[in-house]
Structure 1
Amino acid sequence: MPLKKDPNGGGTNADGSTSAKYCSMCYQNGTFTQPDMTVTEMQVLVTNQMAKMGFPKFLARFFTKGIPKLERWKS
């Protein structure tokens, strides 16, 4: 989720500050809310959420192509 669309302005770091990297749905208290989630699972989740918001599925899938490049999955 783009941080500017996050109703909380981002997730929270371990010290309680707002994360500048991760949204509040994914990151709370300095840890990921679903630490074992794979890139593919995240892409499916995001695609389905965007479809619920009215985006066509093909467009929602297109928007998830960049997820593997996010810092969370860099290794």
Structure 2
Amino acid sequence: MQPMKFCQSCRLPLVPQVQGTEADGSKSESYCMYCYQNGAFTEELTMEDMITRRAPVFANSNPDMTIQEAFDLLHELLPKLERWKTIG
């Protein structure tokens, strides 16, 4: 079994139903459809913007996690993702 892939922008599990698209219409192997379509990011965001958006969703999908714990975890995880490695 292959390890779970995650969007390299928001860390959403990258399952086929939510894969973004490249400029040629093919499925992106790195980004979800919410972050990336037609070969470009859907929005210009800072990493802090992404953390602020994703923390409540992340906490909601993990019932034992507080929003503060989600913020802290995303501050650890997002800098390791491709989109944020060079931007920070």
TM over 0.5: yes
Superimposed CA distance per residue, residues 17-69 of structure 1 (whole angstroms, 9 cap, x where no aligned partner) = 100100111000000001x2000110111002234446431342244121111
TM-score (norm 2): 0.68
Aligned length: 72
TM-score (norm 1): 0.78
Question: In the alignment, residue 44 of structure 1 is paired with which amino acid?
Answer: T
Partner of 2:28: 19
> RMSD of aligned C-alpha atoms?
1.9
Normalized per residue, which structure has more strand? 2
CA distance in structure 2 between the partners assigned to 1:72 and 1:62 by the alignment: 19
Any idea what SS the aligned residue of 2:34 has?
coil
The structure with higher relative contact order (CA 8 Å, sep 6+) is 2
Segments of 4+ moved more than 3 angstroms: 51-55
Matched, 1:57 2:67: yes
Partner of 2:77: 66
